[in-house]
Amino acid sequence: MENLKANVILDTKGLACPMPIVKTKKAMNNLETGQVLEIQATDKGSKADMKAWSESSGHQYLGTIEEGEVLKHYLRKSSNDEFNEKKHPNVINNEELEKKIEANENIVVIDVRESAEYVFNHIPNAISFPLDELENKLNELNKDDEIYVVCRTGNRSDLAAQKLTENGFTNVINVVPGMSQWNGNTTGIYDLGGINNE
């Protein structure tokens, strides 16, 4: 869990509804696109509201971790990266990658989303290489490996694939669209602790 990073942490502990959402909305306004906000709250109802508010406001609800009395919600500020033009020539779709994983092919899958996105839900065996840390971690990868790059919608992975290619990696494939539509197996932490609501 130590690799669960947020750009900004907001403390709403002890506050009752509607304050956690009121403060979250303000904090979100000051965040840059794509950044992750961690909201700490003790109001049990905040979880459902975070989910519903994210949906209605277009932000990405990543998940909630319960630590004793404290709920930690993770939200990612919405971005319009869905509409960017993809430049990396080598692409593969979700289903084809799924087949390769099922067939146990000798491939490397790297997930370039934020660590908080990865933690809640990712492809088993995918390695977390958040886009902005990629440059520092290039030496952890082999230049000859068959590397599949995945993100949420295929744009951050496009940038990452370009960067890898520039750095001499020869066999880099962008996975399109990525986790937003992924139907294969995943793993991650989901809801921990608390009362089971169905």
One of 16, 17, 22, 189 is an active-site residue; which one? Answer: 17
Residue selected from 11, 33, 48, 167 as contacting another protein according to rule CB under 8 A: 48
Which of the ranges 20-28, 87-95, 138-146, 153-161 carries the binding residues for another protein, by CB under 8 A?
A: 20-28
Report in angstroms how near the CB of residue 47 gets to another protein at its nearest: 11
Q: Judged by CB under 8 A, does residue 80 bind another protein?
A: no
For residue 17, indicate whether it is catalytic.
Answer: yes
Q: Is 22 in the site for another protein (CB under 8 A)?
A: yes
Q: How many residues bind another protein (CB under 8 A)?
A: 19
Residue from 3, 14, 25, 124 binding another protein (CB under 8 A): 25
Q: In this complex, which beta carbon is closest to another protein, that of residue 56 or of residue 106?
A: 56
Longest dimension (CA), the chain: 54
Q: Is residue 56 close enough to count as binding another protein by CB under 8 A?
A: yes
- Which amino acids are annotated catalytic? 17
Query: Under the rule (CB under 8 A), what is the footprint of another protein?
Result: 16-19, 21-22, 25, 44-45, 48-49, 52-53, 56-57, 195-198
